[in-house]
Structure formats: structure tokens, C-alpha cells
Structure 1
Amino acid sequence: MRCKRRAPWPTSEFDYIDEDGTWRMKRTVGYLNGFNPTILETQLCNNDQKLVMNGDETQDMTYYITTYLTKKRDRSTNESAILAQRLAYHSEQKRKNGDVAEASRKLVMRCATALNRNQELSAPEVISYLMRWGDRYISHTFAPIYLEGIVSCLRRYYISLQEKRAKVEEIRLTMVSGEVET
């Protein structure tokens, strides 16, 4: 049996580059991939690290990052153009239909449908929806905190809180009923 990634890797107590161009990153365990502690702590995940010195790899990375940052506007990234197109179609259809309420309902429906139809979803979003995992990821479990017991205990020991609350409630009710002129 042999590891397809050629582990165990050579270990090193520190990062270094030799005169002949050989480089090693700090690795104290031969079976653990190279990682950056800062990325590990901030993103809470392990990312393989690689020193990029080759001209082709550097050029490919630069091209990818540049095209990603300066990507052209697709038809679905300009919501105002989509909505303007729907409004033009709606105005044409509205002339045929005399009911204003029905025309307004159709306008809202057409705009929502147009935006949903042209929406771009990432692969993780699509998988999440297909697997019925919901539209958000929660990494913690939450425990409910019930404050009713604490509040009743405070009211029992601090009668003045209860009296102040009664006065505030009385003022609120008189303002709602219209007895107090503003």
C-alpha cells in the first residue's frame, strides 16, 4: 500500500529555500498536509499551501483572479435591466386589460418571476436546495433561554419595577384610547 499523494512527506522545523531552489515548508508531522496557521484560525478549515514560483502557474492564477474580479456583466447580473424589460412588457399588456388591481398584481408577479428565472446560483446553493438542507448553514446548536422565571423573580423582589410598569401601561392605554391630546 502506498499513498497516492506520496505521504509521509519530509518533515522540517521551519520554512526554507536552498540555493538550488529546493524549498520546504514547516511540517512537523509527515502525514499532515502543509497549512497556514493564520488561514486555519480565521477560516476554521485546513487549506493546502503551495509555493507558486513557476511562470505558468503564476500566469494562470493571475488570469483567473483578474477575470473573476473584472467579470463581464451577464444578463442576469443587471436586475434593473431585467425589471425594465418586464415593465415594458407589462405596459403593453396593461393597455389590453382595464382592471388596475389585476394589472398591479401581474406586474409584481412578472417582476418576481423574471428575477427568479435569471438568478444565478452557486453549486453549494444548488446542492443545498436539492438535498433539502435549507438556504443557510448553521455550525452551532442553539439552546433557548427562558426569561419568564427571571422576570417573575425580579418583579417579586423589586415591587417598584411592577409599579413603574403599571404606570407605563396606563399611560400607553390612555394614549391609544385618545384621552391624551398630543
Structure 2
Amino acid sequence: MKAFISALLGCDSDPTKSKLGILGYVKGYYGCIEAQGRGSLHCHMLIWLQGGLNPNEIKKRVIEDPSSTFEQRIISFLDDTICNKVPDKPTVSVDIPSNTYHPCAMRGTTMSGYDSELMLTEDAINLDIHNLVQYCQVHWHTSTCYKYCKSGEPKICRSGLDPLNVTLLTTFDHVTGELIMRCLDGLVNNFNITILRAIRCNMDIKFIGSGASAKAVLYYITNYITKSQLKTHVAYAALERAVVKLGQIDSNDTPVTTMSKKLLQKCAYSMISEQELSAQQVSTYLLGYKDHYTSHTYANLFWTSFESFIERSKPSPECY
């Protein structure tokens, strides 16, 4: 992650040493490391660019001054930065490492046993990118895609990926000011070619450029970071185990308050012991790696206290 932030984003702990990155000059970033169901770690990151306008400012400039080049310039930037189509195979046949081995396991086209000069040709590099996108970015529907679909209803992928989701051009809706991004292949996740070639693993990249997309991302992030890591069935099992253990204590010799405290204590210990941690998470902790990366220092917001203060200051009857 440090190499990604430094080499690709151009960021440095000393702001005066930051440089132009793949996406432009970065003003700030915040990324969280999360483990998926099978344990592998991945990062969710928000990146703010120098000079970047908020959705309302973008909307205002597009609608109020349609004759300016602003709209076309921002569309050109986005189309150049974000791709969502498998690149065509070169017409010239080239034998490269990712033809034989998994592209994610390769460090580009250079490898012992292959013609070093041929591996640096444009055809070899383009074929490697084709293989990489094909393996990493193309979505294949599985039963997991439809696990929230009810019986009798049409099956819709919960990731929103469908071959019919095709938009040939990136455009602005001049009535609403909403940005409609180009999508050349409905089954390919967005990617940046340079970043993909560097990290060589699946990725998704989105531009938050309209009110609708900003709200959707905000909802997703809020829902994501507040979800419980402890599954409900595991919590109930831990609670049951704590109650059973508590029943082994002689209640005649123990005050009620002590019994209550011990119940809470045993519940907490049981739940903590039932937390699922992958080997990757444990290794990351033991090696002293971070679980989040940020360019700034943030103050803690104690949401419950904040919400209570607002509610006392200005009650909202409609919320009850």
C-alpha cells in the first residue's frame, strides 16, 4: 500500500515532496483494509484531487456555461482515466508469460526464458494487458449474484453487472447536471490501465461527479463501515454459552449485581473469542502493518453523543 500511495498516487508524508501521480495531484486520501469472506485483504480508498470540484460545482459549470470547453475536458479526462472494456488482442501472435501462467502471478512481460527484446514490444505489452483484464476485471455470474433474488422474480445480479448495461459515450444531462459515465462492456469492472498493470489484481474505480453518485457512494461507505463483523448467529451462540456457564455458579451465595456483572463479562469474552480472523489479518497485525492509510489526521466523532445533542437541541418528532 505504501508503494501504491507513493509511486502511483505521487503522495509523500511530507506534502512538499508530493508529485504528479497517475490521477493527478492528490490532495488527500483515506483507505481502509478489509478482509473478504475467504480471508484475503483488500483496500477501499477515497482519493481527493487538487483542483477537484464538488458535484454541485461541476453541475453549475456544465449547466450555466454550456459553451465552455469544461464539459469536454472533464469527459476526456475521465475517458482517458477509466476503462471498462477488454482491450483487443494484437493481430501479431506473441508468446508471453501470461499466456502460460496466471497474469496476476507475473510481473509484466519480462521473465527468464523469454526473448527480452520481444517482451518489450508494443504487441507483447498489449497482449499482457488483454490477458490481465480478461482474468481480473471480467465478471462471471454465480449463484452469489442472485442470493437476494426472490423465487419467481427475474434474476438480477446484485453487483449491477449485465451485458445489456452498455453506454457508448460519457455525457452530462444538461437538465439535472448528472454525469453519465461511458460503459462499453456491462460485464467489465472499471479499471485504470496503469494501476492495473502495476498492482496486477482486480480493481474498481469510480468518479464521484454528480449528486446521485455521491449519495450512492456515501450510503455504501456508511453502510459498509458500520456493518457488524460479528454474525448474528455467532453472537446468539456466544450468548447462550455465557448463560450456560453462568448457570454453573451457585446463585444462593452470589449477589444479584455480581451475577449480572459476570453475565455481561462472560458475554463479552464469549463474543470476542468467537470473532473470525483470517490468517492474513493476524499476519498483518503481527507484522505491524496498518489497517487504514490516510494523508490527514482526523478528530474522532462520537456519533451517539452528537446525535443526542442535536436531538435535545432540536427534536425531530417525525423520526418517531
Q: So what's the TM-score if we normalise by structure 2?
A: 0.25
Q: Bigger radius of gyration, 1 or 2? A: 1
Which structure has the higher relative contact order (CA within 8 Å, separation 6+)?
2
Greater helix proportion: 1
Higher strand share: 2
